[in-house]
Structure 1
Amino acid sequence: MPLPVIAGLPWLAAVIGAAFGAIFSWLVKFFTKRVAVTLAIVALVVSATAAFVALITGLVSSLEYVLPPWFSLAVQLVVPENTTACFSVIITARLARWAYEWNVRIIQYKLF
């Protein structure tokens, strides 16, 4: 009598496979949409920050042409050469901290 039991296994495998396929596709669609939205927001914030840094750098460098030469010499005595790199590191660190805190809040919101 084992023949009818074996004959029903392909049908059962097809049903289970279709169910897992539907669940997996729903999960992928659900998480893909969230990841895409999160990445888009982070990309917008990073590009806005980069544009802001470029704007400030351009404004400061444009002052070099307008101010008298003795002023730039005085600034060079007070401000070191790596000031731009230091500001870039500070801004990047704050942006990374913001992204981390934002992700932690989203995770906490979803868990609780």
Structure 2
Amino acid sequence: MTIEQTRVIDMIGIDNQTGTCTLTISDHLDWEDELSHLYLLQEKLNSYLAFVESEEILESYPEATGRNICFMIYFLHDIPEIAKQFLENARHTISSAGFELCFEVTPFPY
């Protein structure tokens, strides 16, 4: 699964150290078309939020019950300034909903 599949949850699991339920987004796209990339990212995050807020997560992954939720984005490419601003705004919105948004740039195979 990838960021291009905006209605699909890429990965979900429980962090063994913190007990947090982490929903992961795999973002392999470069930033050549920043606006299209940001649109896909926004749609993906909206799907993740809907999945959690509707409690569909509990039906699909009962282990998430009673746990903190973190949305984790792994980027393959360095994040441009416009995307950093978007992510900070998204972090604030997601935090207001009671969840956490984390991200990092890391090479990963496809």
Mark yes or no: TM-score above 0.5: no
Q: Which has the higher helix share?
A: 1
**Larger relative contact order (Cα-Cα within 8 Å, sequence gap ≥ 6):** 1
Q: Say which one has the larger Rg.
A: 1
TM-score by length of 1: 0.30
